[in-house]
A = this chain, B = another copy of it.
């Protein structure tokens, strides 16, 4: 005897031009089929909302295929196993997986690997930390900084989106390495938090004045690593302050994702030539084999208090269309998480 569960879902209805609106989404309900051998049914507890989602909504070649029209929107999340015909997963266990923007994800045995399903240890971090420092943003910050940026003690690291999910990991890790760390963020609250709570050396409030002046003041020895989450004018400004052999890690360009005009390329890119510097892109999935090692290291920092994390949790699957926009209007403070169930 099973009770038929109704699964509420949010699907991509149309590709957005500029900022996504409700018109780009379709809300659907469907009964969940019965499980067959190998299936795991996961109830979504928390979903990760990420700037990259905006890119997945566009048509065209990228590092992963776009979400198809009428498909459930792609999202990583933390859930609880509520039914299982897979001996590796027991009811009640907490897992991380690509759950999608829906209340339940039925994962077939053949899709286990692609979904990224794995059990999480709540002793290592809370569910929302598993979407933040111990999740994709943490992995992105870890491998982007350590592998692409290659920080050395004493160097100056600048990170934009400093109070965001990736930025907080990058800045704290760079401090652990022994770097001078300067964040760039919007507003006093975020800037104060990364300095006072996370221990950044300084934070430039791009809403309060020219970033150029802040860089002059807070990076007296220039910039050795710039970890870029935003693109646009800020990238261009940092390019004027880089040191010889600087590394610019291109992680994202949130300022450009909702453009209805062409992306603004970095006009100061010839600073790379003058300074023998490099600008390099990264996609976190390339490091999947090494996630366990990075998670163990980061969990250790959380446990010993060397790293902190901040998540902003908004409740309600149905708020997804508006909550997503908080990433783009700067309202999110910390990792943005959608709470779907307790």
| A interface list, Cβ under 8 A from B | 61-63, 231, 236, 250-253, 256, 262-283, 286
B286 adjacent to A270 (CB under 8 Å)? no
Chain B residues within 8 Å of A271, by CB: 281
Chain B residues within 8 Å of A277, by CB: 280-281
8 cross-chain pairs, A with B, having the tightest CB-CB distances, nearest first? A265-B265, A273-B281, A272-B281, A278-B280, A265-B267, A265-B266, A279-B279, A250-B273
Chain B residues within 8 Å of A278, by CB: 278-281
Interface of A (DSSP majority class): loop
CA distance A253 to B278 in the complex (A): 16
CA distance A251 to B272 in the complex (A): 10
Number of copies: 2
CB distance from A282 to the nearest CB of B (A): 6
- Asked whether A265 and B262 contact (CB < 8 A) given A62-B274, A63-B274, A273-B252, the answer is no
CB distance from A107 to the nearest CB of B (A): 27
CA distance A279 to B265 in the complex (A): 13
CB distance from A277 to the nearest CB of B (A): 6
27 contacts between A and B (CB under 8 A): A63-B273, A63-B274, A63-B275, A231-B270, A250-B269, A250-B272, A251-B273, A256-B270, A262-B267, A263-B267, A265-B265, A265-B267, A265-B269, A266-B266, A266-B269, A269-B269, A272-B279, A273-B281, A273-B283, A276-B281, A276-B282, A276-B286, A278-B278, A278-B280, A278-B281, A279-B279, A279-B280
Chain B residues within 8 Å of A63, by CB: 273-276
Chain B residues within 8 Å of A279, by CB: 269, 272, 278-280
Chain B CB within 10 Å, residue with most, of A264, A271, A277, A281: A281
Chain B residues within 8 Å of A266, by CB: 265-266, 269
A270 adjacent to B281 (CB under 8 Å)? yes
CA distance A62 to B61 in the complex (A): 37
CB distance from A183 to the nearest CB of B (A): 21
CA distance A53 to B273 in the complex (A): 15
| Nearest B residue to A286, CB-CB | B276
CA distance A286 to B262 in the complex (A): 36
CA distance A266 to B281 in the complex (A): 14
CA distance A283 to B253 in the complex (A): 28
Per a CB cutoff under 8 Å, which of B61, B231, B276, B282 touches A283? Answer: B276
Chain B residues within 8 Å of A62, by CB: 274
CA distance A223 to B61 in the complex (A): 16
CA distance A275 to B62 in the complex (A): 8
CB distance from A27 to the nearest CB of B (A): 31
CA distance A277 to B281 in the complex (A): 6
CA distance A231 to B275 in the complex (A): 17
CA distance A279 to B228 in the complex (A): 15
B263 adjacent to A270 (CB under 8 Å)? yes
B282 adjacent to A270 (CB under 8 Å)? no
CB distance from A284 to the nearest CB of B (A): 10
Chain B residues within 8 Å of A253, by CB: 270, 273
| Nearest B residue to A271, CB-CB | B281
| Nearest B residue to A269, CB-CB | B265
CA distance A279 to B248 in the complex (A): 10
Per a CB cutoff under 8 Å, which of B263, B280, B283, B286 touches A268? Answer: B263
